A = this chain, B = another copy of it.
Amino acid sequence: MHRYAMILAGGSGTRLWPMSRDDRPKQLLPLFDGRSLLQLAFARQERLVPDDHRWVCAGERHRAAVLAGLPRLNAEQFLGEPAGRDTLAAIGLGTAVLAARDPEAVVGFFPADHLIEPVDEYRRIVEEGFRVAEENADALVTFGIAPTGPATGFGYLELGGPLDRRAHDAREGDSPVFATMLRMVPAKTGTVPARLVRQFVEKPPREKAEEYFRAGSQKYLWNSGMFVWRAATMLECIRRFKPAVYDGLQTIAGDWDTPGRAATLAAVFPTLKKISIDFAVMEPASRDARFRVAAVPMPLRWLDVGSWPAYADTCPRDDRGNAAAGQNLLLESAGCLVVSADPKHLVAAIGCDDLIVVHTPDATLVCRKDRAEQIKELYKQLPPQLQ
């Protein structure tokens, strides 16, 4: 068994301030019935790969918190980034370390930021991704989410033809609309055949996003940030498209199983170019004949819990559209998200519409829902002890 799953939990999540802090990033917050996004993501990989093939990549400074939250994660399967260097460095590190240990490794990367349901369907679809990567040495597999609106905060995958012509032909009679796929999933193999990705489009302007949304999910999917590939294939991509990063990663991987691991990691990792895997590898690979970027559609309930409004979407609503967690009392208020993180603290609202109110013991946020993006800006102005 050469399959591995690595959870990417390196984000800082300033947009969930004041709940998230520098030393308590959003992935570690027990926001979902007492469980964190990281715990949910870790549990999702169960049965997809052997238990000791589940890895977590996160900030080295969060090591203790991550291990405490995941008692079944071996400390050896924790990849601690000495500094945040975006996804190329994080994914590259995981790829290089696993490739050095297991040249036939097929690795899946899964951001911790997502809620995905139902989990059984998720596993079936990710398994299909593993299969595609195993059967196609040149394939870089992404997972595409069916857009539920013209979001400007996500990247889009423009889909081309089927990756596997035969598989496609066999299904040609299937309906081309995504809604039908949904019905199809349990009835057939549990997956939709992988498609080639013609183009990566980073967070588009509103107009483009609307065009993509109108075009439908046979044409455009959201880039989920989940990937599967053979470690050797990805290393070859990095070598071609970002040779300096490749060299750095090989240096780190070479010292990994020696006493020099920590010193080399600390010296080299922070020098790696800070760039996303999409820009650095996926885009050029999608235009390079030596590789094929594939998208496996994932027609499931999917939520990137990257902001308070997104979190609100995970909460039950009252009949005025308020989502609330913790002790609260809402009078003539509508469309609010009210979170009290301290079980002894009550948050009351009167006549409030579309507000986010989040209370924590040392800081309270009151923010218009349509201004949630500005929490990042606020964060920078906070005194360090509140960051």
Greatest chain B CB density within 10 A among A340, A347, A348 is at A348
Shortest A216–chain B CB gap in Å is 34
Contact between chains at B329 and A349 (CB < 8 Å): no
Give the contact stretch, choosing among A145-153, A229-237, A374-382: A374-382
Instruction: With CB as the reference atom, state the residue of chain B lying closest to A346.
Output: B363
- Is A275 interfacial (CB 8 A cutoff)? no
Q: List 20 A-B contacts (CB under 8 A).
A: A18-B348, A329-B378, A329-B382, A340-B364, A345-B362, A346-B382, A347-B363, A348-B365, A348-B378, A350-B365, A350-B366, A350-B367, A350-B368, A350-B375, A350-B378, A351-B367, A351-B371, A355-B366, A359-B364, A366-B366
How often does this chain occur in the complex, in copies?
A: 2
Taken together as a complex, chains A and B put the C-alpha atoms of A125 and B331 apart, in Å, by 44
Contact between chains at B367 and A352 (CB < 8 Å): yes
Contact between chains at A364 and B364 (CB < 8 Å): yes
- Is A357 interfacial (CB 8 A cutoff)? yes
Instruction: With CB as the reference atom, state the residue of chain B lying closest to A355.
Output: B366
Instruction: With CB as the reference atom, state the residue of chain B lying closest to A372.
Output: B350
- Is A361 interfacial (CB 8 A cutoff)? yes
Chain A interface (Cβ within 8 Å of chain B)? 18, 329, 331-332, 340, 344-352, 355, 357, 359, 361-368, 370-372, 374-375, 377-378, 381-383, 386
Decide: A350 near B332, CB < 8 A? Known: A345-B362, A345-B363, A366-B357.
no
What residues on B are CB-neighbors of A332 within 8 Å? 371, 374
What residues on B are CB-neighbors of A386 within 8 Å? 346
Greatest chain B CB density within 10 A among A340, A364, A372 is at A364
Instruction: With CB as the reference atom, state the residue of chain B lying closest to A366.
Output: B349
Instruction: With CB as the reference atom, state the residue of chain B lying closest to A373.
Output: B350
Taken together as a complex, chains A and B put the C-alpha atoms of A196 and B266 apart, in Å, by 87
Contact between chains at A348 and B368 (CB < 8 Å): no
Sorted nearest first, the 6 A-B pairs with minimum C-beta distance are A351-B371, A351-B368, A350-B367, A346-B363, A349-B366, A347-B364
What residues on B are CB-neighbors of A361 within 8 Å? 345
What residues on B are CB-neighbors of A349 within 8 Å? 365-367
What residues on B are CB-neighbors of A329 within 8 Å? 378, 381-382
What residues on B are CB-neighbors of A352 within 8 Å? 355, 366-368
Instruction: With CB as the reference atom, state the residue of chain B lying closest to A371.
Output: B351
Contact between chains at B374 and A331 (CB < 8 Å): yes
Instruction: With CB as the reference atom, state the residue of chain B lying closest to A18.
Output: B348
Shortest A152–chain B CB gap in Å is 19
7 more contacts with CB within 8 A, not counting A332-B371, A332-B374, are A329-B381, A346-B382, A350-B367, A351-B370, A351-B374, A357-B366, A364-B364
Instruction: With CB as the reference atom, state the residue of chain B lying closest to A379.
Output: B348
Decide: A348 near B364, CB < 8 A? Known: A329-B381, A329-B382.
yes
